A and B are shown apart, each in its own frame.
Chain A
Amino acid sequence: MSEPVIVLRDLSKNFGDVHAVQDVSFAITPGTIFGFLGANGAGKTTTIRMLCGLTRPSRGTATIAGKDVWKDRHLVRTKFGYVAQRFSLYPDLTVVENLRFFGGACRVPRTELDGQIERLLALTDLPGKRDVAAGSLSGGMRQLLALGCALVHDPPLLFLDEPTSGLDPVHRQQIWNLLYDLASAGKTIFVTTHYMDEAERCTELGFLDRGRLLAMAPARELKASFKTRLLEIEAEPLMPALVQLRNVPGVLGVALRSGRLRLYAAAPEQLLERWRQKWPFSDIKLLGERWVEPDMEDVFTAYSQGYTTLLKGESR
């Protein structure tokens, strides 16, 4: 394993009495696609902004390539590119003008800038849109351009704050393919998302909940942190079944998945055993049951809803 590129030690941020981020510590090695997961308001954006030197940490430290993200923020800025959650390019400037401006702002030498712009246009599949105003691009193309602008100085590290939210599946796929290419070229990708299928694509995941890091592990390890497989049942009528099962003692939560009800319960075998002896709901018919492996969404639900009894103890 090579030296970690990002190291966080007890990184915290308070806004008045609100603890947006609390004592978050982890390290990321180069070439990782790190997925930072959490509900809205969990503190993902605040963490990224601290790492980018846009917000001063209240406590703790973070380093990028050995440099402090706050004290040495002017040095650190050459090391990463940042794609913000909101579209934050200049809508009245064309695609090329945006790239050229950020190239100049990131001090890309003039002699290299033209070549770099052509490379980025090709990479983001935007050569046909070079003289189109950024504001007239579709959401997906805007995001590709934002990615291009973040890469203009060829940084080893890329921060992306929900880069695919609100995009169609085709553009999401395109952006992820691009991220794979970048990671395979040795770049480190730090991406926040709340799409679980995207979480599956990351090589490493971190779960943030109300400012605290609950878990940090590769995707496979996180799924393996469930104590048991999950019980899925088929029942009719579906919706009343969902509502009534939620209130059964021992059931922490019920999720609807492709017409089946997935139960989050600490001891699902015992529940099923009881139900086989006596089905307690006269107005609902039990049609069948099966056992499934937990997926990322289950992991996310378990961590974000605090179903700790389902988990083998918080990993790492």
Chain B
Amino acid sequence: MKGISMSAIASVAYKEFLHIYRDRRVLLLLLILPPLFTLLFGHAFENTQLTDVPALLIDRDDTPRTARFIDIISKDKTFQWKRRASGFNRDSDLLANGVKASLVIPAGWSDSLSNGDPKPLPLYLDGSDTNTAATVEGVVQQDLANFQAKERDLIVESLPDEVIELGKKLPINIRKEFVSLMSAWGVETKNLYNPKSRFIDYVVPGIIGLILQLLTVTLMACTIARERESGTLYQLMVTSLKRGEIVLGKVLPYLAVSVVLILVVSLVTWLHFQVAFYQPAVLGLVCLLFLLCSLGLGLLISAFSRTQTQAIQFSVFFLLPVFVLSGAFAPLDQLPDTIGYISELFPLTHFCRAFRLVNMYHAGPSFYAVDLMVLLAGAVVTFLGAAFLLKRIEE
């Protein structure tokens, strides 16, 4: 744009900065909320291991064998077991018992194991919480497998000597095969990209992005709408200011504030949660592009709204799906394709993906170049859109 004057931009930027500085309540909010949110979200998502799930255990068989099983399952930290007497008959009433699961050992279970006809153990799960239900089922299954292995070892130990002697007569390869079959087969897991298996490392871009998205969009959205509401926009328009100067002058102070916020949030995650930042310069670029895109969106909403109230309402309507669908706190892989495409429209999605590719995967630029391009394009489109809408207000 021709004839843009730096000192004119500086005038607008200084005025806008004064607005932020004079509004002490919002300033306080800006200073306190981001670190507070970081601590809050950080701790909320710190531990994804399911522990102390309240569960009910009813042993109607009450044999030494069930005692051995209960010993194993009681040591499992996943559960916080409540024991009920065998006469208790509200097995499936999870809500009334205040538990998420209920495991019943039916009478005659030990006998069924001895008689070569193992009965399944009834396990009632709270299906409303699908994640917990699936995890609990897996854990109980695992505990049962452990129990089975131990029981097998006991039987092998107590085999009469003749059987052992008989076994020694078997060919060596069959004996080896048999030993192998008797031990548990497993996988050796190596967690790549997140060696410490900490969810906090995954969720950091979500926290940074969420806070920035929330503050930048809503604050920015109010700026032009406020001028429009108070009539000062017309006063601005009869000055020699060009649209580009107004837009740039309004964005700069918020950009500066946002950069400070990023630093504060990063500092908190680094010092408090020991999150390491890989290639800070690249992460900075990712943040900058995301910020420009968010500020542009705020500006667009701002130029579109007639009053501050409208601006806030539009911001909330925009931010709500962003928070749910952008993958800030959970991987996007579970989303159906169509909704996945929608989530690609949100800058937060690309920010989180690019940030993780750099910080967790230590990936090369070719992996996240597309996300950066999308953010850049978003910034350009929203800024041009806002300038266009401003031109329409002018006419």
Contacts and interface: CB of A to CB of B under 8 A. Distances in A.
6 contacts: A54-B237, A77-B240, A88-B235, A100-B11, A104-B11, A105-B240
A77 B232 contact: no
A89 B239 contact: no
A84 B10 contact: no
Interface stretch (A30-38, A90-98, A175-183, A204-212): A90-98
Given A106-B239, A149-B235, 5 more contacts: A53-B238, A82-B238, A89-B235, A97-B18, A100-B11
Interface string B218-235: 000000000000111011
Nearest to A55: B395
Contacts of A89: 232, 235
Interface of B: 5, 7-8, 10-12, 14-15, 18-19, 22-23, 230-232, 234-242, 394-395
B15 A101 contact: yes
Contacts of A100: 11
Contacts of A231: none
**Interface size class for chain A?**
20 to 34
Contacts of A106: 239-240
Given A77-B239, A105-B11, A54 B232 contact: no
Contact of A93 (B15, B394, B395): B15
A78 B19 contact: no
A41 B244 CA distance: 34
B238 A107 contact: no
Contacts of A97: 15, 18
A92 B18 contact: yes
A101 B230 contact: no
A104 B237 CA distance: 13
Contact of A88 (B5, B234, B240, B395): B234
A93 B226 CA distance: 14
Given A56-B395, A88-B232, A105 B18 contact: no
Given A53-B238, A84-B231, A89-B232, A107 B8 contact: yes
Contacts of B236: 105
B239 A105 contact: yes
A92 B22 contact: yes
B390 to A, nearest CB: 13
Contacts of B241: 105
Contacts of B238: 52-54, 77, 80, 82
B154 to A, nearest CB: 80
A149 to B, nearest CB: 8
User: Which of B7, B14, B239 has most chain A Cβ within 10 Å?
Assistant: B239
Contacts of A312: none
A110 B6 CA distance: 12
A86 interface: yes
Contact of B18 (A54, A77, A93, A102): A93
Nearest to B5: A107
A88 B11 contact: no
Nearest to B18: A93
A89 to B, nearest CB: 7
Interface in A92-128: 92-93, 97, 100-107, 110
B7 A105 contact: no
B231 A92 contact: no
Contacts of A91: 230
Nearest to B11: A104
A233 to B, nearest CB: 46
B7 A110 contact: yes
Nearest to B394: A54
Contacts of B234: 49, 54, 82, 84, 88
Given A82-B238, A107-B5, A88 B231 contact: yes
B17 to A, nearest CB: 11
Contacts of A77: 238-240
Nearest to A98: B15
User: Which of A49, A101, A105, A133 has most chain B Cβ within 10 Å?
Assistant: A105
Contact of A90 (B10, B232, B239): B232
A15 to B, nearest CB: 13
A74 interface: yes
Contact of A86 (B11, B15, B231): B231
B7 A104 contact: yes
Q: Which 5 A-B pairs have the closest CB atoms?
A: A104-B11, A88-B231, A105-B239, A92-B22, A86-B231
A207 to B, nearest CB: 25
A80 B18 CA distance: 27
B346 to A, nearest CB: 33
Nearest to B233: A88
A92 B241 CA distance: 21
A91 B232 CA distance: 10
A28 B133 CA distance: 83
Contacts of B12: 101, 104-105
A148 to B, nearest CB: 13
A26 B395 CA distance: 24
A102 B23 CA distance: 21
A74 B19 contact: no
A110 B14 CA distance: 14
